[in-house]
Amino acid sequence: MMQSLSPPDRQNAGLDLAAALAAFEPITLDALEGSDANLLDRTETKFLMTADRFVQILPDLGDAYRVLEIEGARQGRYETEYYDTDGFLTYLQHHNGRATRYKLRFRHYLSSDTTFLEVKEKRNTGRTVKKRLETDGLPELSDPGPGTFLAESFPYDAGAFHPVLLTAYDRITLVARDHAERLTFDLNLTFDNGTESRSYPKVVIGEIKHDRALRRSPAMTALGRAGVRKTGFSKYCIGVSLLYAGLKHNRFKRNLLFLEKLSSEGGSVC
């Protein structure tokens, strides 16, 4: 795996995120995993906002959501290593607008020191299905456990895939009290390909994971009231677009420009 990434420097941050999160009632990981909000089969809606706007929105969510807390921490550091072919098959699937597409990755949760091999499938129905296998560290994709899992879950030859991008970020997870909905907010995002890296401490990527039947929720209302609009955004595709200059990226130009705009406007979080 590529070298682990430290969070971007936040010494000059002026926003008290911890105080905003302290107002939320906590929920445990076991309770989340046993609830309807676990949502491995779901619809996803994504949002980009400045970090200071995110902190301003949080108080509007406290009555309707609980915050995931693991061993006293309400933020968790994630590292996700994406695999692709030499020709960037899965990246180009997304870029070229293929309705059914895949992502292959290892995700490491630093707070619990657990790792999962994950296949993420976006179906032509608009739904996202994630399948995962807990692993002991980072095995080879051809090892018996991963090999069997991928043969059942991934339609391509995993032997042609290798690490191409590492993303790292701090994640805050909010869980709806009375319906099947989960919110994630990713902060202090860093992309790294082993030779170059980019960091975005002033930008927050929000995502609402919900069942298709959910048309409106307190989070959607609060974000809309704050002027935060939904947008398609793939951390993998944006990271590849930024760090692999030779690949076409026309489909993602609007998001790349918006990301830079927010990064120049926002304040970082503490």
The domain that holds 226 is classified in CATH as 3.20.100.30
For 76-110, what is each residue's pLDDT tens digit?
999 999 999 999 999 999 999 999 999 999 999 99
Question: 177-180 long-range CB contacts below 8 Å, 24 or more apart?
Answer: 177/64, 177/65, 177/66, 178/64, 179/36, 179/214, 179/217, 180/35, 180/36, 180/37, 180/39, 180/210, 180/211, 180/214
Range of the domain at 114: 27-265
Does 11 map to a domain? no
> Is 73 inside a domain boundary?
yes
In a domain, 197, yes or no: yes
Residue 229's pLDDT band, with cuts at 50, 70 and 90, is confident
Number of domains in the chain: 1
Q: Which residue type, as a one-letter code, is found at position 162?
A: H
Residue type, 250: N
Does any domain span residue 159? yes
Task: Say how many C-beta atoms besides its own lie within 10 A of residue 136's C-beta.
Answer: 9
Confirm whether 51 is domain-assigned: yes
Instruction: Report which DSSP code applies to 99.
Output: S
Torsion of CA 34, 37, 43, 47, to 10 degrees: -130
- Does 17 fall in a domain? no
pLDDT surpasses 60 at 9: no
- What the block records as the tokens of 201 is 């401490």
Tens digit of each residue's pLDDT (9 = 90 or more) over 10-60: 433 434 899 999 999 999 988 988 776 566 666 788 999 999 999 999 999
